[in-house]
Amino acid sequence: MVTGWIEVLSTWAVPFLVGFIPLYGWLRGVKVYETFVEGASEGFRMAIQMIPFLVGILVALSVFESSGAFDAVIHWLSRPLGHLGVPAAVVPLMLVRPLSGGAALGITTGLLHRYGPDSFIGRLASTLQSSTDTTFYVITLYFGSVGIRNIRYALTVALLGDLAGFVAAVYICHRLFGG
């Protein structure tokens, strides 16, 4: 019975909100269409401002990978992380996740195809994918687009958050799935 209500709720939640929010605004006297167009225009201007920062981080990531430095770092970290229970196959995901969500998703997809979603590596990769954020991408793109230049403390806290997410993911996966 509860499952039926959840299914109905999940089916109609988005259409309800898409209809309710404009109706509520219109009833309160808001010019809904004009406000929407103004917001879309502002979003488009913001997207144009973000392009240089996005190109910059993608070029830096490409140079890092093409130079061989990425493979060297993976090789250097695989053994000590292996002693801590991190499979070598997951190390690239741990390194890429703070840089690029798309690249991290590609690595996760590759791990899931190679090892399977029910393997320890598949479960750990999925947990890592959802436990952290694309720190450098977020800081570069969003801070850069609004003109924030002093990112020292934000970057430190964000990287500590990523580290906490990585440690927690490895610990929890070992406890739940016994890798």
Task: Tell me the pLDDT tens digit for each residue of 99-138.
Answer: 888 888 989 999 999 999 999 999 999 999 988 888 887 8
In this prediction, the residues of the chain whose per-residue pLDDT falls under 50 are: none
The answer as to whether 106 is a domain residue is yes
Report which residue type is found at 29. Answer: G
pLDDT computed for residue 9 by the predictor: 86
The domain of 61 spans 50-177
- Quote the number of domains for the chain: 1
pLDDT computed for residue 138 by the predictor: 83
Task: Name the 3-class secondary structure at 144.
Answer: helix
pLDDT computed for residue 127 by the predictor: 94
Task: Name the 3-class secondary structure at 75.
Answer: helix
pLDDT computed for residue 46 by the predictor: 78
The answer as to whether 67 is a domain residue is yes
The answer as to whether 58 is a domain residue is yes
pLDDT computed for residue 2 by the predictor: 62
pLDDT computed for residue 141 by the predictor: 77
Alpha-carbon distance values, 108 to 125, 134, 150, 172, 177 (Å): 6, 14, 32, 18, 18
C-alpha–C-alpha distance, residues 136 and 77, integer Å: 20
The answer as to whether 1 is a domain residue is no
pLDDT computed for residue 125 by the predictor: 95
| Largest interatomic CA distance in the chain | 63
At residue 28, what are phi and psi to the nearest 5 degrees? Answer: -90, 5
pLDDT computed for residue 1 by the predictor: 59
**Cβ contact 116:81 at 8 Å:** no
Tell which residue, 103, 104, 98, 101, has the closest CA to residue 159.
98
Residue 116 CA from chain centroid, whole number: 21
The answer as to whether 36 is a domain residue is no
At residue 151, what are phi and psi to the nearest 5 degrees? Answer: -110, 10
